[in-house]
Amino acid sequence: MLRKGITESFGAAVHGLNTTQLTDGVINRSKRMMLDTLGVGLLGTRTAVFKKALKYSQMFTSDERSSVWGKSEISLPAHYAAFVNGIAVHSMDFDDTWHPATHPSGAVLPALLALAETLPSQPSGLDLLLAFNVGIEVQGRLMRFSREAYNIPERFHPPSVVGVMGSAAATAKLLGLSPAQCSHALAIAASSAGAPLANAATQTKPLHIGNAARRGMEAAQLAQLGLEGNPAILDKDCGFGVYYKDYSPSAMAHSASRGFKWILEDQDVAFKRIPAHLGMHWVTDAALAARAKMESTVRNFNLSQIRHVTLRVPPSKYIDCPLPATEHQARHSFQFNACSALLDNKVTVSSFSEAQINRPALKELLSKVSVETPEDNPPSFDKMYCEVEIQTHQGQSYEARCDTFYGHWRKPLSQKDLVEKFSVNASSVLCSEGVEGVIDAIGNIERVRRSSVLGSYLRMTSSQHEQLYSTGSL
């Protein structure tokens, strides 16, 4: 009996996985991912980058139309609905993060919801849940083909590499493609993978998620029409291996075998409390703790008493931004997030507004910051730490360290706090019926008969939001 190639094993697994294999743990974790993704995506429809992408996407027409989240009167061709909704998810860097490092949900869920609306037979919520987990699983498997991927990235933005593969796998599953077609969908998607990390901290970075969602769906649909790619795309260094210096792939266990186990069962995701790069959560919590120590001991507490602030963080050039000038740079700046926390005793969505970024008090505090990268602090979301040390003009020192922030996979958000985050984000766009409807639909997704119910709730905008949008205020 001939041994299956790696790509062939992936195609067989994507085709063969079924709903009976979804464990309670995987169902619960993936439902949390879906709810969080929809919340940050709805909030993201208020951003400048989303509006530019939407304006561009409205140039295209199609007989088949899919919903734009948070827009009751706007629909787009399915590929462009996936594109703009994916951009919305990552527009504020507020979406979930996995380990090895990637944002797993944003490339998959927008593609699935857009595609589902166009299918002649509406998939059930359970069908949607299975396809979502297939897309997440493929990303997790591919990330584990490289030790390099376990560190904070240096060359490629990970969702642009594995996200398009996850979208292709998920949409191939929803389309019911054959094992060979699933393999070809991955091969086709691989030719749309990859984006340079240099576009992090710019408006282009959210496009990485939008492109992954859109291109993965296109790959699956092309495979459905008979287009073929290299049947060994995952086996070769000159195939998917071009993205990693230490590529070492392995076959995916057959879905019906005892050897199959969902990666999500063992590796939870991180949910963000602030809309910024994941590394910012460590430095923010450390800064808040250092400020609390200073505030509790210094009489007539005042930040003007600070002479110097030292940050001890892992080495990573693209999140070392001493003087950010834009919201996207601020979301990738250890210095900005530490100083915002010290100045305001919090970091929120509004912290990244132009007015907040350009405050004289913030710029003065930023000028007092230096960064150190201790040798024992690796650039890994699983092993890193952040320390913040405040030195005063009076010679006092206040230091705090964060090893695991609240929301990390080792310290997950409670269900109450996750739902609260969704509600706050979604209510900026949806009416209360829409917010509650999405919460209920996702909470019971495995029992929902038609996945289209989600789309109907995602279009239930508040009258105030619609009025602001129609007048150009949003």
**Per-residue model confidence as pLDDT tens for the chain (474 residues):** 345 799 999 999 999 999 999 999 999 999 999 999 999 999 999 999 999 999 999 999 888 899 999 998 999 999 999 999 999 999 999 999 999 999 999 999 999 999 999 999 999 999 999 999 999 999 999 999 999 999 988 899 999 999 999 999 999 999 999 999 999 999 999 999 999 999 999 999 999 999 999 999 999 999 999 999 999 999 999 999 999 999 999 999 876 667 789 999 999 999 999 999 999 999 999 999 999 999 998 777 788 899 999 999 999 888 889 999 999 999 999 999 999 999 999 999 999 999 999 999 999 999 999 999 999 999 999 999 999 999 999 999 999 999 999 999 999 999 999 999 999 999 999 999 999 999 999 999 999 999 989 999 999 998 655 544 454 544
Token pair 């359970």 in the structure block, residue: 126
Q: How far apart are CA 133 and CA 248, in angstroms?
A: 23
With tokens 């949008």, the residue in question is 469
Question: What is the token pair recorded at 288?
Answer: 């808040």
DSSP 413: P
401 φ, ψ (degrees, to nearest 5): -130, 140
For residues 40 and 425, is the Cβ–Cβ distance under 8 A?
yes
Q: What is the CA radius of gyration of the chain?
A: 22
The answer to whether the CB of 382 falls within 8 A of the CB of 369 is no
Q: In the prediction, which pLDDT does 311 show?
A: 98
Residue-level pLDDT at 50: 96
d(CA 16, CA 173): 9
pLDDT, residue 46, reads 94
Burial readout 166-201 (b: 16 or more C-beta within 10 A, e: otherwise): bbbbbbbbbbebebebbbbbbbbbbebbebebebbb
- CA gap 123, 144 in Å, rounded: 31
Q: What confidence score (pLDDT) does residue 465 get?
A: 52
Nearest to 96 by CA among 84, 83, 106: 106
CA distance 458 to 449: 17
Strand-strand pairing, 75-76 and 66-67: antiparallel
Cβ pair 353, 366 in contact under 8 A: no
CA distances, 259 to each of 22, 23, 253, 255, 421 (Å)? 15, 15, 6, 8, 37
Q: Which helix (H) or strand (E) holds 336?
A: helix 334-344
The three-point CA angle 290-295-297 to 5° equals 100
Distance CA(32)–CA(409), nearest Å, equals 12
**CA distance linking residue 81 with residue 114, whole number of Å:** 6
* Of the candidates 465, 453, 459, the residue with the CA atom closest to the CA atom of residue 126: 453
Nearest-angstrom CA–CA distance, 405 and 281: 6
The alpha carbon torsion through 144, 150, 153, 159 (nearest 10 deg) reads 40
Helix spans in 246-297 (H): 263-266, 279-297
The β-bridge relationship of strands 306-312 and 369-372 is parallel
Question: What residues contact 227, with CB distance under 8 A and at least 6 apart?
Answer: 184, 188
Main-chain dihedrals φ then ψ at residue 172, nearest 5 degrees: -60, -40
Q: How confident is the model at residue 463, as a pLDDT?
A: 64
